A and B are shown apart, each in its own frame.
Chain A
Amino acid sequence: MAQIGYSKKVLEHFMNPRNVGTIENPDGYGKVGNPVCGDLMEMFISVKDDIITDIKFRTFGCGSAIATSSMVTELTKGMHIDEAMEITRDAVADELEGLPPRKMHCSNLAASALHEAIKDYKRKEED
């Protein structure tokens, strides 16, 4: 019973997503996707000495959209922002033991949402 070809790990993250929610006054905020397309994600980060000390997400979308969001937060909590900027969509999919091919693009935006949040943090730092 592998629903829609999802791996065990995708289903596990979908059923028990990590780091759901928001951060008040986040150091960085990123939002990608569009409800018209069926996927919308937002990431909130707290950063201290360029380390991601806290990360939260909210996602509207399918199972893989929720699982990839959860996985990104798990991977990057405690990570240096430069290293987190290097996390690719493929890396997220690999950590989840793969995604069905047609889910690789549309529902795998979580890394991009995180990158947007980091860019937002850097912009604020420069101001």
Chain B
Amino acid sequence: MPTPSLTFRGEPMRMIYLDHAAAMPINPGVLEFAKRYLQSDFGNPSSLYSAGLEAKRIIEDARKKIAELINAENETCIVFTSGATESNNLAIKGTALRNIGKGKKVVASAIEHISVLNPMKELQKSGFELTIIPVDSTGIVDIEELDDSLTKDTTVTSIMYANNEIGTIEPIKEISEIVHEKGLYLHVDATAAAGRLPVDVQNDGIDLLTLSSNDMYGPQGAGALYIKPGVRLQSILPGGGQERGLRSGTENVFAIAGMGEAARIAKDEMAQESKRLRGIRDGLISEILKVEESYLTGHPTQRLPHHASFRFSRIEGESILLNMDMKYNVQVSTGSACTSRMLEPSHVLIAIGLKHEEAHGSMVLTLGRSNEVEEIPIITKAIKETVQRLRELTPL
């Protein structure tokens, strides 16, 4: 399809990108910083000559910057991976398998990312006991249920910092106190939260923390796992023994260097940028909720600053996405079954108690650096007209 030739105030209408939870453009400063590790400084960090030493140096530089972003005890707590999915797998399988002598129980909330739930289900198939903790209608984990579920043989408990589909921020400090009272480990997936909320592993009481490069405007293909000193886990990717033996394979030097720089910029700019995005987000929420039969999904206040998510009765999300894209050049996301590989609605929307037909009408907006307050009326108009058009078609 050709790009829609729409105009706004006589100018060609540019794309408004509202799916930063799916992918983010690399920060130009990060690209500038890291590109030499693809070109001139392309050495293997394990080599001992100077090209290798520079690659090694920049990886350690990135480790330090990431440790600073999350206030880790020191940089040796950071292990680089290929992304959040691998970090989650390493945290869960690596800890469960290393500590199998202590027990075979794992616990996760019902709204965890699929890269947390699926490794846990795999463990379940090989004899582990998996407990899923429900959430309330705003997406907050049921603390009492969690407390009741944790026993001394629970080796990994995984609760996300904030949810990517409904924006809800979990009470991590309270959760970590419960987990630690029983002497257990807490893994936190901070993919959606890092760089947007002041994640502090020491203050929050986190034992294992998943980070993603691209979710902080870094290059795709890098992630990290924070491992608190003293927490024991085993490798799930044996080989040449890179990353303290926890993650073999030649390091993705470009992506790791970029991730480090992205973390540094995120730390510097987070407070200001989060405040700016929160303003745009609040404007969008108040305008979009004026649409008849529209509802906010997730928590009204305990919410990621760049995140607005909704559902609209009697219409379907993929149609919303398509219409917004083709007619208005606005890119949004949905938890509708029709866009998923499994043709099932989002497990997160089902976990907060939505019926299937309600979950089909979901729309998720995640803001980023390119978005501006001036876009609020354009986005709102596109959504209002899209909902109206699809409701004219619906038999419901």
Residues of A within 8 A of B (CB): 1-4, 6, 8, 11, 14-15, 17, 20, 31, 35-42, 58-63, 65-66, 102-103, 106-107
Contacts and interface: CB of A to CB of B under 8 A. Distances in A.
B343 A63 contact: no
Contacts of B326: 3, 11, 14-15
Interface string B359-396: 01000000000000000000000000000000011111
Interface in B285-342: 314-316, 318-319, 321-323, 325-327, 336-339, 341
Interface string B172-202: 0000000000000000000000000000000
Given A35-B360, A40-B395, A106-B343, 6 more contacts: A15-B327, A35-B356, A38-B360, A60-B316, A60-B394, A63-B319
The CB with the most chain B CB atoms within 10 A, among A20, A66, A106, is that of A66
Contacts, number: 86
A34 to B, nearest CB: 8
The 10 closest A-B pairs by CB, nearest first: A62-B338, A62-B318, A35-B357, A58-B395, A36-B356, A60-B394, A63-B322, A38-B360, A42-B395, A38-B337
A41 B338 CA distance: 15
A73 to B, nearest CB: 12
28 contacts: A1-B3, A3-B1, A3-B325, A4-B322, A8-B1, A11-B1, A11-B322, A14-B319, A14-B326, A15-B326, A15-B327, A31-B395, A35-B396, A38-B316, A39-B316, A58-B394, A58-B395, A59-B393, A59-B394, A60-B314, A60-B394, A60-B395, A61-B338, A62-B339, A63-B318, A63-B319, A63-B338, A106-B343
Given A62-B336, A63-B318, A106-B343, A17 B393 contact: yes
A74 to B, nearest CB: 15
B152 interface: no
Of the four ranges (under 10, 10 to 19, 20 to 34, 35 or more), the interface on chain B belongs to 20 to 34
Contacts of B315: 60
Nearest to B322: A63
Contacts of A58: 393-395
Nearest to A69: B393
A79 to B, nearest CB: 23
A64 to B, nearest CB: 8
A2 to B, nearest CB: 6
Contacts of A107: 338
B396 A38 contact: no
Interface in B1-33: 1-3
B39 to A, nearest CB: 31
Interface in B82-122: none
A66 B319 contact: yes
Contact of B1 (A2, A17, A35, A66): A2
Given A36-B356, A38-B336, A4 B318 contact: yes
B232 interface: no
A127 B386 CA distance: 43
A59 B356 contact: no
A62 B396 contact: no
